[in-house]
A and B are shown apart, each in its own frame.
Chain A
Amino acid sequence: MNATGIGAAVKRKEDFRFLTGQGTYTDDINRPGQAYAYILRSPLAHANIKNIDTTAAKAADGVLAVFIGDDMAADGVGGIPCGWGVNNKDGSAMAEPAHPALAQGKVRYVGDQVAIVIAETYTQAKDAAETISVDYEELPAVINMEAALAGGPLVHDDAPGNMSYDWGLGDLDAVNEGFKNATQVSKIDIVNNRLIPNAMEPRAGIGEYDTATGEYTLYTTTQNPHVIRLLMGAFVLNIPEHKLRIVSPDVGGGFGSKIFHYAEEAILTWAAGKIQRPIKWTAERSDAFISDAHGRDHITHAELAMDADGKFLALKVSTKANMGAYLSTFATSVPTYLYGTLLAGVYSTPAVYVEVKSVFTNTVPVDAYRGAGRPEASYLLERLVDRAARETGHSQVDLRRKNFIPNDAFPYQTPVALAYDSGDYNASLDEALKRADVVGFEARKAESERNGKRRGLGYSTYIEACGIAPSAVAGALGARAGLYESANVRVHPTGSVTVYTGSHSTGQGHETAFAQLVSDTLGVSLESVDIVHGDTNKVQFGMGTYGSRSLAVGGEALMKALNKITDKAGKIAAHCLEASEADIEFKDGQFSVAGTDKSMAFSDVALTAYVPHNFPHETLEPGLEENAFYDPANFTFPGGCHICEVEIDPDTGTVSVENFVAVDDVGRVINPMIVEGQVHGGVAQGIGQALLEGCIYDESGQLTTGSFMDYTMPRADNIPNMDVGNTVTLCAHNSLGVKGCGEVGAIGSPPAVINAIVDSLWGLGVRDIAMPATPQKIWQAIATAQTSQAAE
């Protein structure tokens, strides 16, 4: 193994600048002549706007301009588009109401953009915004999904019944047949709690217009600059690509929340053209809570049919998914193609049917958050399997093993569209059982009970689909974009290398992992490789980072370009060494002629490429630079087993996570240190969802968890140390064999935690605990169970 190549836990190239305060995040950038913006947001969840009086604001100190929705409409600015069309069961298109960047006539959630105030300083803009008088006619708001579907106030006049779509997937007849043949059926009703992503860097942007060139530039906190350029340029502002540059420098975490095209991006870019000065806006955390897309928010009923032996026969799932007030960029795909298609899980259930109703409410739009649909699927399935094991008298391990897709079944076609390429679910379960010392659990449990505590063990054997995705499949399923990735490798004359990738890092360490691929392939040092991302004027094209796709799709594009480089370099070496191309071998950065001592270093080949004094120019071009686009053949399917052990104090309801074991199969590991770090972070977010985090709206649509003082973010003393391991089955359809590791932690962990709590309290009569499982809920559940047992 090359010491800095594939599989090496090399330290990250990006860390020096981050550790010394020299990272460049969007808010760190200041442009000459820059003005500042404040976005005035709706304080009401649902209201008609009768009038907006901006007279005083426009006259206030330092104010340069104030714009409202009418101003954008007058300029013909389009609405914020949704990137994925989903059809109803009957084949008709979903309801897709208009989404103006600045509200036009109506506000639909607390946080909806009403006006932009632009001034010489931020405080001037903010102060002036307070003088804007908006005459709201308050309307009844609908917050709860059940109420929205049951004739609640309409969020959009053109979305009857507050539904965007009523979608279904699977063979309902086969499922019904399965239930007819069943001897045992387990049922569950669960809620996947609404979350607020809360990347530590708040969103920010600087819009800029160059009067000399007619070029717009937007600096923005995004995970996918080219996607923003496409969506905003083509659908909102009508700016052609060559006149629109999107720069996304260092990004302080995203977790999905920075995928989407946000209204502020369009407002800033458009307004910069209007006032012909750069305009900077940075969200305060309070803005972030009411304007960053939220995550999850499902209500589900599911039933699992089994035969007498515990073999799964059929699964039937009915889900309501909250869209919030508008369809955010990928919102529609999350509860359908990223959720329904995962409901076979790691099991060979022959028939699965899922239906999903997506619901408009007067809340912040909901979209992808770390895992996006797949955590909801694994939470549902693993809670249901846990219950089925308890109800049928199987152990958690036995029921799972009995139903695992066996190793010899791959490639495995599920009944819900996906075809898994590889996996070994027993291997990750076995490894997790060992690490979690499950054998010793009963003794630990007895010890806890001697101390008046309850102890429980929870399992989750999950799968996810990553590396989004083959364009053909995504297109057939309604995606309005291709989902490939591109890479350009530029070898400089002295042999150093710059890579331009369409993937973008929000902290995952691409500058290191991608450089390792280069080091491994070309035999050059890590220091001689730079990875460039996040600027549409530098990078040829890209679809960005989400769905754990960077390595599986972007990395593969890079490998494709690197292979073109070694092909070309081999031709040059053959020419220089006066050998046949077929006799050229390349190893450890040296081209050599097989069976001779003639060789040439990669850096010498690079130099020759740019100093081609004696090239046969009709067959060999100068230069050493290659471009590649890679469109995967399939999704990748990471999976694994998480085991959580908790101890609960029944007197207070407090949970202590005593041990958390995560054994994931993410395919080949390029940098084990980075992979482990990704799992840690994902698990922490999953434990956060399970124990701490919950977004709460009151009946009028006010977000009551609108700050870090009200929304419980996991802190250092809430999260345990984690035991992270891995097993490996290679992805069968990409050259690296990689599957993706960004989301496994958040997908596998919540059911493990809740199953552990249920396990610890089952004996007390507790059958369910809703997330987040706060001490109050646990104490209440114990009290209720004991009261009802006493009554019996």
Chain B
Amino acid sequence: MPITVSMTVNGKAVTGEIEPRTLLVQFIRENLKLTGTHVGCDTSQCGACVVHIDGTSVKSCTTLAVQVDGADVHTIESLADGDTLHPMQEAFRENHGLQCGFCTPGMVMSAVDLVKENPDPSEQEIREWLEGNLCRCTGYHNIVKSIKAGAAAMRG
């Protein structure tokens, strides 16, 4: 029995008829065709699916779409301003904080939330914050460096 959900995604009001078991990430990828949010696992471990719900980073693979009815959701697609990257995205580019790019949207969304909570995180704080985000390409070295630089840029 399909049910109706409505929310704001990247500033735009959206509505969908979905099965109640539909995950937020499925709603985003399949109904809204926003494919920047990725699915890398089925146990809520990898963090490739991190989005912001009402300003906080959340794994969209572990959230039912119906749970966020009425919420304000932001995905990686909303971060840049046209061709101008968000300072955190720019820091990842500048510091080679990505290789295959698959974990990257989740990493960046997670990092932006970290900096909101902790504007000047130490290396150790960054590494601990990222315990819910897996990357198989970079060895994290340049991701940590990127987030440090991104945090500095966001502080302005």
Give A contacts to B, CB under 8 Å: 11-12, 14-25, 27-28, 30, 123, 198-202, 250-253, 255, 282, 284-286, 506-509, 673-674, 676-677, 680-685, 707-709, 713-717, 719, 721-722, 745
With both chains docked as a complex, state the minimum distance between the C-beta of B69 and any C-beta of chain A, in angstroms.
20
When distances are taken between beta carbons in the complex, the residues of chain B under 8 Å from A284 are 42
A199 CA / B102 CA spacing, docked (Å): 9
When distances are taken between beta carbons in the complex, the residues of chain B under 8 Å from A719 are 139-141
A716 CA / B107 CA spacing, docked (Å): 11
When distances are taken between beta carbons in the complex, the residues of chain B under 8 Å from A722 are 139, 141
A677 and B99 form a contact (CB under 8 A): yes
Q: Which one of A21, A713, A717 has the highest number of Cβ atoms from chain B below 10 Å of its Cβ? A: A21
B92 and A251 form a contact (CB under 8 A): no
Taking a contact as CB atoms closer than 8 A, the residue among A22, A200, A707, A745 that contacts B43 in the complex is A707
With both chains docked as a complex, state the minimum distance between the C-beta of A349 and any C-beta of chain B, in angstroms.
32
- The answer to whether the Cβ of B112 comes within 8 Å of any Cβ in the partner chain is no
B130 and A25 form a contact (CB under 8 A): no
Taking a contact as CB atoms closer than 8 A, the residue among B19, B37, B108 that contacts A19 in the complex is B108
Given contacts A18-B98, A680-B138, A708-B46, 13 further A-B contacts (CB under 8 A): A18-B100, A18-B104, A19-B93, A198-B136, A200-B46, A202-B40, A253-B100, A285-B46, A507-B102, A684-B139, A716-B131, A716-B135, A716-B144
B141 and A23 form a contact (CB under 8 A): no
When distances are taken between beta carbons in the complex, the residues of chain B under 8 Å from A202 are 39-40
Nearest A residue to B147, CB-CB: A716
- The answer to whether the Cβ of B103 comes within 8 Å of any Cβ in the partner chain is yes
A673 CA / B104 CA spacing, docked (Å): 18
Nearest A residue to B126, CB-CB: A716
A681 and B38 form a contact (CB under 8 A): no
When distances are taken between beta carbons in the complex, the residues of chain A under 8 Å from B138 are 677, 680-681, 684
- The answer to whether the Cβ of B122 comes within 8 Å of any Cβ in the partner chain is no
Q: For the complex, would chain B's binding face be called helix, strand, loop or mixed by DSSP majority? A: loop
* Contacting residues of chain B (1-51) with chain A, CB-CB under 8 angstroms: 19, 21, 29, 33-43, 45-46, 48
When distances are taken between beta carbons in the complex, the residues of chain B under 8 Å from A684 are 138-141
Give B contacts to A, CB under 8 Å: 19, 21, 29, 33-43, 45-46, 48, 75-77, 79-80, 85, 89, 92-94, 96, 98-105, 108, 123-124, 126-128, 130-131, 133-144
Taking a contact as CB atoms closer than 8 A, the residue among B39, B42, B80, B131 that contacts A286 in the complex is B42
When distances are taken between beta carbons in the complex, the residues of chain B under 8 Å from A282 are 39
B142 and A677 form a contact (CB under 8 A): yes
A19 and B136 form a contact (CB under 8 A): no
5 nearest CB pairs, A to B: A21-B36, A507-B100, A18-B101, A684-B139, A252-B102
Nearest A residue to B131, CB-CB: A715
* With A284-B42, A716-B133 as contacts: A200 and B48 at CB distance below 8 Å: yes
Taking a contact as CB atoms closer than 8 A, the residue among A17, A22, A123, A252 that contacts B100 in the complex is A252
A488 CA / B36 CA spacing, docked (Å): 31
When distances are taken between beta carbons in the complex, the residues of chain B under 8 Å from A30 are 33
When distances are taken between beta carbons in the complex, the residues of chain B under 8 Å from A676 are 96
When distances are taken between beta carbons in the complex, the residues of chain A under 8 Å from B93 are 11-12, 15-16, 19
With both chains docked as a complex, state the minimum distance between the C-beta of B145 and any C-beta of chain A, in angstroms.
9
When distances are taken between beta carbons in the complex, the residues of chain A under 8 Å from B21 are 123
Nearest B residue to A197, CB-CB: B136
A201 CA / B105 CA spacing, docked (Å): 13
B98 and A19 form a contact (CB under 8 A): yes
A752 CA / B130 CA spacing, docked (Å): 26
B143 and A199 form a contact (CB under 8 A): no
Nearest A residue to B35, CB-CB: A28
When distances are taken between beta carbons in the complex, the residues of chain A under 8 Å from B43 are 285, 707-709
When distances are taken between beta carbons in the complex, the residues of chain A under 8 Å from B133 are 716
A63 CA / B85 CA spacing, docked (Å): 44
Nearest A residue to B106, CB-CB: A200
Taking a contact as CB atoms closer than 8 A, the residue among B35, B41, B94, B144 that contacts A708 in the complex is B41
When distances are taken between beta carbons in the complex, the residues of chain A under 8 Å from B130 are 715-717
With both chains docked as a complex, state the minimum distance between the C-beta of A309 and any C-beta of chain B, in angstroms.
39
A448 CA / B85 CA spacing, docked (Å): 45
A202 CA / B46 CA spacing, docked (Å): 12
B141 and A680 form a contact (CB under 8 A): yes
Q: Which one of B127, B128, B139, B141 has the highest number of Cβ atoms from chain A below 10 Å of its Cβ? A: B139
A716 and B46 form a contact (CB under 8 A): no
B136 and A713 form a contact (CB under 8 A): yes
When distances are taken between beta carbons in the complex, the residues of chain B under 8 Å from A507 are 99-102, 137
Taking a contact as CB atoms closer than 8 A, the residue among B77, B94, B124, B134 that contacts A21 in the complex is B77
B92 and A19 form a contact (CB under 8 A): yes
When distances are taken between beta carbons in the complex, the residues of chain B under 8 Å from A28 are 29, 35
When distances are taken between beta carbons in the complex, the residues of chain B under 8 Å from A716 are 126-128, 130-131, 133, 135, 140, 143-144
When distances are taken between beta carbons in the complex, the residues of chain B under 8 Å from A508 are 99
With both chains docked as a complex, state the minimum distance between the C-beta of B24 and any C-beta of chain A, in angstroms.
15
When distances are taken between beta carbons in the complex, the residues of chain B under 8 Å from A201 are 38, 40, 100, 102
When distances are taken between beta carbons in the complex, the residues of chain B under 8 Å from A707 are 41-43, 45
B140 and A16 form a contact (CB under 8 A): no
Nearest B residue to A18, CB-CB: B101
A567 CA / B102 CA spacing, docked (Å): 40
Taking a contact as CB atoms closer than 8 A, the residue among A20, A253, A285, A714 that contacts B76 in the complex is A20
Q: Which one of B104, B126, B136 has the highest number of Cβ atoms from chain A below 10 Å of its Cβ? A: B136
With both chains docked as a complex, state the minimum distance between the C-beta of B141 and any C-beta of chain A, in angstroms.
4
A14 and B101 form a contact (CB under 8 A): yes
When distances are taken between beta carbons in the complex, the residues of chain B under 8 Å from A19 are 76, 80, 85, 89, 92-93, 98, 101, 104, 108
Nearest B residue to A507, CB-CB: B100
A12 CA / B138 CA spacing, docked (Å): 14
When distances are taken between beta carbons in the complex, the residues of chain A under 8 Å from B99 are 253, 507-509, 677, 681
With both chains docked as a complex, state the minimum distance between the C-beta of B147 and any C-beta of chain A, in angstroms.
10
When distances are taken between beta carbons in the complex, the residues of chain B under 8 Å from A255 are 136
With both chains docked as a complex, state the minimum distance between the C-beta of B155 and any C-beta of chain A, in angstroms.
20
When distances are taken between beta carbons in the complex, the residues of chain A under 8 Å from B128 are 716-717
23 A-B pairs whose Cβ atoms sit less than 8 Å apart in the complex = A15-B101, A19-B92, A21-B35, A23-B36, A25-B38, A25-B102, A30-B33, A199-B102, A201-B100, A252-B102, A252-B103, A508-B99, A680-B139, A707-B45, A708-B43, A709-B45, A713-B45, A714-B139, A715-B134, A717-B131, A719-B139, A719-B141, A722-B141
A12 CA / B92 CA spacing, docked (Å): 11
When distances are taken between beta carbons in the complex, the residues of chain A under 8 Å from B101 are 14-15, 17-19, 23, 250, 252, 507
Nearest A residue to B109, CB-CB: A21
A677 and B42 form a contact (CB under 8 A): no
A289 CA / B136 CA spacing, docked (Å): 15
A253 and B89 form a contact (CB under 8 A): no
* With A252-B101, A680-B138 as contacts: A21 and B131 at CB distance below 8 Å: no
With both chains docked as a complex, state the minimum distance between the C-beta of A699 and any C-beta of chain B, in angstroms.
25
When distances are taken between beta carbons in the complex, the residues of chain A under 8 Å from B33 are 30
Nearest A residue to B37, CB-CB: A21
Taking a contact as CB atoms closer than 8 A, the residue among B40, B89, B123, B124 that contacts A200 in the complex is B40
When distances are taken between beta carbons in the complex, the residues of chain A under 8 Å from B77 are 20-22
When distances are taken between beta carbons in the complex, the residues of chain B under 8 Å from A250 are 100-101
A507 CA / B36 CA spacing, docked (Å): 16
A25 CA / B105 CA spacing, docked (Å): 13
B100 and A199 form a contact (CB under 8 A): yes
A30 CA / B123 CA spacing, docked (Å): 40
A17 CA / B102 CA spacing, docked (Å): 11
B96 and A200 form a contact (CB under 8 A): no
When distances are taken between beta carbons in the complex, the residues of chain B under 8 Å from A717 are 124, 127-128, 130-131
Taking a contact as CB atoms closer than 8 A, the residue among B126, B136, B140, B144 that contacts A199 in the complex is B136
When distances are taken between beta carbons in the complex, the residues of chain A under 8 Å from B39 are 27, 202, 282
When distances are taken between beta carbons in the complex, the residues of chain A under 8 Å from B36 are 20-23
When distances are taken between beta carbons in the complex, the residues of chain B under 8 Å from A709 are 43, 45
Nearest B residue to A671, CB-CB: B96
B141 and A285 form a contact (CB under 8 A): no
Taking a contact as CB atoms closer than 8 A, the residue among A16, A199, A252, A673 that contacts B96 in the complex is A673
Q: Which one of B38, B77, B80, B99 has the highest number of Cβ atoms from chain A below 10 Å of its Cβ? A: B99
* With A252-B102, A507-B101 as contacts: A200 and B135 at CB distance below 8 Å: yes
Q: Which one of B100, B102, B142 has the highest number of Cβ atoms from chain A below 10 Å of its Cβ? A: B100
